[in-house]
Amino acid sequence: MSAFDTRRLSALVRKESLQAVRDPSTLLIAFVLPAVLLLLFAYAVSLDIRTVRIGVVVESPGASSQQLAAAFAATRYLDVTFAHDRREVADRVVAGELRGFVVIPQDFEQRLAERSGQPLVQVVTDGSQPNTANFVANYAQGVVQTWRAGMGGEVPSASIALEPRYWYNPELESRRALVPGAIAIIMTIIGTMLTALVVAREWERGTMEAVMSTPASVVEILIGKLLPYFALGMLSTLGAAALAIFVFDVPLHGSLAALLLLSAVFMVPALGQGLLISSLARNQFLAAQIALFSGFLPAFMLSGFLFEIDSMPAPIRAITWLIPARYFVSSLKTVFLAGDIWAVFVPDLLAMAAIGAVLFALARRATRKNLEP
């Protein structure tokens, strides 16, 4: 390997930067795409449940059942349609107008009086949307419990009263958790996808062959590729963070320095993965496909960004340990919503750096300075 030459490196960096600035698609991916993604996650994708439309079928004419029905109507999260026959609302559930219904049965007063442990009401939910169905079921139970408690202490009182408090995100606004996560997705796209694409483009256009025939070494060529995209990734992160904080009102409880450090370290595995892909795929289409399946989708689904890792089946949970975005998402959420908690950051930083080192070593081994297939 010829000696590392900073002049050659700076020539390559300059070339790559000029290309990045002149290529509208690069700027589109680095700056417009993040803005669109953030906008989507901030407004369009919401995991919060507000005013779910349900039916309440009051079959019993008694006073208690009227009271219970009124309790349903009074809640903040349900939009109640009353009916006296379950067939009326059943059709509307089928039509998708209602998410479920609660039946206050004919013998409600009797069941209430007997306290036999028989269920008081029947809850029917639309299982095609499991999250909402769960919510409707639980919430309906909750309404009944609360109402019964209000009836006058006849309920077997629990020895401990639960009063939940949600830390870090008191209003349980999903935007606050999603926007920091979206930054991880954006960084993956820039680090992995863009890098893989620009290297593949050089193979496609034949410029790689020309550069390889010069005295520039593989390390110089690779670093010359990475530095500009590292800078681009950091700029994009800053832009996305600014958007998140100032436009979408996501608080940054931690420090900007910590955010930048986390992002910089996350770029190591992201770029390493991009390089590895580019050493395997020498055309842009293939590179984009591999980057999509090995970089973007795992970062999207297995990082804990959208779906909680703890609720995944064990084998999938094991896989998430290999996904660098997982560590980044966890730290990002911490730095935005909780603050600079180094007990969380340090293991995450170490894990990202370790995965990055492995990917770089693999990429370095897979990239030779020749055209052997």
Partner 1 sequence: MAAAAPLPAAPRGQDRDTAVVLDGVEKHFGKVQALRGLSARIGYGRLTGLVGPDGAGKTTLMRIMTGLLVPNAGRVTLAGYDVVDDNDAIHVASGYMPQRFGLYEDLSVMENMRLYAQLRGMDADRHAGLFDELLDFTRLGPFTGRLAGKLSGGMKQKLGLACALMARPAVLLLDEPSVGVDPVSRQDLWRMVQALTDEGMAVVWSTAYLDEAERCDRVLLLNEGELAFAGPPGELTGSLGDRSFRLEEVGAERRAVLAEALDLDSIGDGVIQGAGVRVVLRADAARQQIQALADRVDARLVPVAPRFEDAFIDLLGGGPGGTSALAERLPPVRLDSNIAVSCRDLTKRFGDFTATDRVTFEVRQGEIFGLLGPNGAGKSTTFKMLCGLLKPTEGEAHVVGLDLRRATGAAKGQLGYMAQKFSLYGLLSVRQNLEFSAGVYGLEGATRRARIDEMIETFDLGRWLSAAPDALPLGYRQRLALACALMHRPPVLFLDEPTSGVDPITRREFWTHINGLARKGVTVMVTTHFMDEAEYCDRVAMLYRARLIALDTPDALKRGAATDDHADPTMEDAFIHLVESADLADEARGEASQ
Q: Which residues bind partner 1 (CB under 8 A)?
A: 1-2, 5, 7-8, 10-12, 14-15, 18-19, 22-23, 205-207, 209-217, 369-373
Q: By the 8 A CB rule, do 294 and 273 touch?
A: yes
CB of 196 to partner 1, least distance (A): 19
Q: By the 8 A CB rule, do 126 and 99 touch?
A: yes
CB of 18 to partner 1, least distance (A): 6
Q: Got the DSSP string for 7-53?
A: HHHHHHHHHHHHHHHH-HHHHIIIIIHHHHHHHIIIII-------EE
Tokens of 179: 């926007």
Residues linked to residue 55 through DSSP beta bridges, in sequence order: 81, 101
Q: By the 8 A CB rule, do 175 and 41 touch?
A: yes
Q: By the 8 A CB rule, do 61 and 104 touch?
A: no
Q: Which residue has the tokens 């890792």?
A: 309
CB of 371 to partner 1, least distance (A): 5
Tokens of 42: 């901030």
CB-nearer residue toward partner 1: 67 or 213: 213
Q: Got the DSSP string for 210-273?
A: HHHTSS--HHHHHHHHHHHHHHHHHHHHHHHHHIIIIIS-----S-HHHHHHHHHHHHHHHHHH
CB-nearer residue toward partner 1: 27 or 358: 27
Cα–Cα distance measured from residue 302 to residue 235, given in angstroms and rounded to the nearest whole number: 25
CB of 367 to partner 1, least distance (A): 13
CB-nearer residue toward partner 1: 203 or 360: 203
CB of 192 to partner 1, least distance (A): 22
DSSP annotation of 160: S
CB-nearer residue toward partner 1: 205 or 317: 205
CB-nearer residue toward partner 1: 128 or 370: 370
CB of 212 to partner 1, least distance (A): 6
CB-nearer residue toward partner 1: 39 or 212: 212
CB-nearer residue toward partner 1: 14 or 317: 14
Cα–Cα distance measured from residue 345 to residue 353, given in angstroms and rounded to the nearest whole number: 12
Q: By the 8 A CB rule, do 100 and 125 touch?
A: yes
CB of 287 to partner 1, least distance (A): 18
